Chains A and B, each alone.
Chain A
Amino acid sequence: MMLRLVPPLIALLLAGPILAGLSMALLPAFGYLPALGGETLSLAPWRALFAQPGLWRSVGVSFASGLLTTALSLAVVLLFLASAAGGRFDRWMRRLVSPLLSLPHAAAAFGLAFLIAPSGLLLRLVSPGLSGWERPPDLLIVQDPWGLALIAGLVLKEVPFLLLMSLAALPQLDPQRRLAMARSLGYRPTLAWFKGVAPALYPLIRLPVYAVIAYASSVVDVALILGPTLPPVLSVSILQWFNDPDLSRRFLASAGAILQLGVTAAALLAWWCLERLGAWLMRGWIARGGRRRGEVPLRLAGRGLILLTTVTAFLGLAGLAINSLATFWRFPEAWPRGLTLQHWLRVLPQLAEPLASTAIIALGATLLALVLVLAALENEQRHGRRPSRALWLLYLPLIVPQIAFLFGLVVVMEYLGTRPHHGLVIFGHLLFVLPYVYLSLAEAYRRLDPRWSQLARTLGAPPHELFWRVRLPLLLAPLLTAAAVGLAASIGQYLPTQLLGAGRITTVTTEAVALASGGNRRVIGVWALVQAGLPLVGFTLAVGLPRLLWSRRRGMRDSL
């Protein structure tokens, strides 16, 4: 049966390119790349790498950004969940946070940049009244050498990610009963959550947390917008060396890629040690049995921090919108002199090609991913086996830094003589789309009441009919949501498009990021908004279509 071949096929599709890419970074890192005249193994690339000015600073910022982003995002999420008692504020926060998940990283980064830049919205609001500044202060706020703006930009996006991952995992823990039990023993609600739910929740979200560490320590697009420049973070340096017209710099880039792998691994290892430490402290804290102290500050922090990150993200989007419509806007003025559609009209003709590419790639990768994931899940249903180790494999593309294996993959493609085309980019995106589609569909698929399939089969429906006539329609809503998640993941990708497309295939995201160095805010505003809007189209359809299709089926709407 063909279905049985799907899980190994997925394993091959995910692990194959990563292993091939890593080895083609590893060999040149030690001087071996015959196409460029590297015939013997040597340590020359490493010597060149360590002679780069500012290398250790790059490494330090990458490492710190990985750990700090994760620690901050996790703290915001856990504090919020602990303080959430299910009131109106919490419901509103959840509703506000979920669309942020679909917001591409680059758009969020531009939004933050426009907000906190010396001539950004925030300083305009306090100038000249409070600050006394008549012109933008000469401060390096965005692209600061410590990477603080970079970390802030990443936190804006990782909070929604970790929150939704936690919300998906929580129901298995039956948090209400745990809370009721702890509260009946005299614990105040927030402390009850920290002591009774959090220790059980963390193991369930450990893999997403690791993915955040890996992402934050090796991100490229956000770092191009918000990260330091002299020197940039390690991943951006690697990309610059790789793109250098002097091809011999590829050896340097390869050594850098292996170093990046080491930096991310070190960050993961450091986090693992922090986990041990945290668990030990937590045990002591729980064992002491405090029931009240710290309740109020924890609750206030929980609500305040999530409010801060969410409002910042939305203000950033508003800033993009104002910038894209502004005419003349002198510094301390809080509002532009006038509004115009001129910037939009100017960009519009250039949008067609990147939009078409974005759509082709996103639809292609998502469709492929859906077929593979459905086949794998259907195989699991028919043969009743649940893959356990496979989950690690799914997270592999999310935990191995993109920059470390993607350009090795480019080297492989160049070696095979493959020219950059859309198919290649789709294949590259599939690596990152497939895990998200799988993660968002698997639970719904497994939770579907088994009696539906038993019923259908006793009525005489063979497995394929059961799939098409029962399971697929019943799972339409989660299926469309998974598709929207896949589309959003693809639309936001920068590096796979840039590297596998060899700069010749442009999407909305690569165009927007390319504008970062130019600094024309009006144009950036337009592109970033287009980029932010595309995933929303997918999610709107995912929510709207089932409502429309099942408008006369109450039993289907109740499950939406």
Chain B
Amino acid sequence: MTQAHHLDLENIDIRLNGRPLVALDTRIGPGEVLTVMGPSGSGKSSLLAYLAGFLGGDFTASGAVRLDDRAIQALPAEERGIGLLFQDPLLFPHLSVAGNLRFGLPRHRRDKRARVEAALAHIGLAGFGDRDPATLSGGQKARVALMRLLLSEPRAVLLDEPFSKLDTQLRQEMRDWVFQHLREAGLPSLLVTHDYQDAEAAGGHLIELA
């Protein structure tokens, strides 16, 4: 998990029905967080959707997305190696806590059970594997969600206002915790947010969309 990855966004140009929406040309290095801010409608979510591989049919996009020097913009979402962290933890309600973590593990990994247990211990939830995710606290859910993401071994991460629904105290705690893990894993990350404190805690470059 400690290999260094980098994400290059080369001359990205996203248009909605022909109207220019986002233009971007930048590089995100290993463990760096690029923060993108801007008012609603400025194309933040379209940028995320484009990078993750979910851009709708009304949009057109040009440019290249290179992850570790491999162009990925034409690949289907599941083959891009880009992980996504949402506003909500979105733990699958039909699976147990362990089942959620296991969902993240790539199919070819052998010792799945041991990895899941180690991951639970790492986030301070040892013994919680059989629990119903609905019974966890907000902070616990957020940690499981990030751990599930890390277990899927992404090479880059997109964060879609991941702290906006947490209360003030938990927000500070989770920010530090998430960014620390992303840095340790050497993952290039792109954070979309409304909150300047998020950008500060992320510590990387800041781009404001108009």
Residue B98 at the A interface, CB < 8 A? no
Contact: A474 with B94, CB < 8 Å? yes
Complex Cα gap A144–B84 (Å):
68
A-side interface mostly: helix
Contacts of B134 in A (CB 8 A): 553-555, 558
Number of A-B contacts (CB under 8 A): 71
Which A539-553 residues have a C-beta within 8 angstroms of B? 550, 552-553
Interface of A toward B, CB cutoff 8 Å: 384, 451-452, 454-463, 469-470, 473-474, 476, 550, 552-556, 558-559
Please tell me if the beta carbons of B83 and A556 are within 8 angstroms of each other in the complex: no
Nearest-neighbor residue (CB-CB) of A385 within chain B: B57
A384 contact set on B, CB distance < 8 A: 56-57
Q: How far is the CB of B43 from chain A (nearest CB, A)?
A: 18
CB-CB under 8 A from A451, the residues of chain B are 86, 88, 90
Whether A459 lies near B104 (C-beta < 8 A) is yes
Confirm or deny: B132 has a beta carbon within 8 angstroms of a beta carbon on chain A. Answer: yes
Residue of B nearest to A474 (CB): B94
Please tell me if the beta carbons of B135 and A458 are within 8 angstroms of each other in the complex: no
Chain B residues within an 8 Å CB radius of A452: 90, 92
- 3 tightest A-B CB contacts, nearest first: A555-B93, A554-B134, A457-B77
Distance from A16 Cβ to chain B, minimum over Cβ atoms (Å): 31
Taking the closest CB of chain A, its distance from the CB of B85, in whole angstroms, is 9
B57 x A459 contact (CB < 8 A): no
Contact among B54, B93, B149 for A459, CB-based, below 8 A: B149
Tell me whether A554 and B132 are in contact in the complex, defined as CB-CB below 8 angstroms, given that A455-B84, A458-B83, A459-B103 are known contacts: yes
Q: Which B residues are CB-close (under 8 A) to A459?
A: 78, 83, 103-104, 148-149, 152
> Are B78 and A454 in touch, CB under 8 angstroms?
no
Partner of A455, one of B53, B82, B90, B93: B90
> Pick the contact of B94 from A458, A462, A473 — CB < 8 Å?
A473
Cross-chain contact of B132 among A462, A476, A553 (Cβ < 8 A): A553
B47 CB to closest chain A CB, in angstroms? 15
Distance (Å) between the CB of A458 and the closest chain B CB?
4
Q: What 1/0 mask marks residues of chain B from 135 to 174 whose CB sits below 8 Å from any chain A CB?
A: 1000000000000110010100000000000000000000
> Most chain-B Cβ atoms within 10 A of its Cβ — which of A460, A463, A470?
A460
Contacts of B104 on A, CB cut-off 8 Å?
A: 459-460
Question: Does the CB pair A474–B149 fall under 8 Å?
Answer: no
B133 at interface, CB cutoff 8 A: yes
Contacts of A474 in B (CB 8 A): 92-94
B57-A454 in contact (CB<8A): no
- Within 8 Å CB of A456, what residues of B? 103
Q: Chain A's nearest CB lies how many Å from the CB of B132?
A: 5
Provide the residues of chain A in CB contact with B199, threshold 8 Å.
none
CB neighbours of A476 from chain B (8 A): 94
Cβ A556 vs Cβ B93 within 8 A: yes
CA distance A455 to B87 in the complex (A): 12
Tell me if B106 counts as interface (CB < 8 A to partner A): yes
Is B52 close to A, CB under 8 A?
yes
24 inter-chain pairs at a CB distance below 8 angstroms, sorted by A residue, are: A451-B88, A454-B77, A455-B84, A455-B90, A456-B103, A457-B53, A458-B52, A458-B152, A459-B83, A459-B103, A459-B104, A459-B148, A459-B152, A460-B106, A460-B152, A461-B78, A461-B103, A470-B92, A552-B132, A553-B93, A554-B93, A555-B91, A555-B94, A555-B134
Q: How far is the CA of A554 from the CA of B135 in the complex (A)?
A: 8
Q: Chain A residues near B103: list those with CB within 8 A.
A: 456, 459, 461, 469
A460 in contact with B52 (CB, 8 Å): no
CB distance from A556 to the nearest CB of B (A): 5
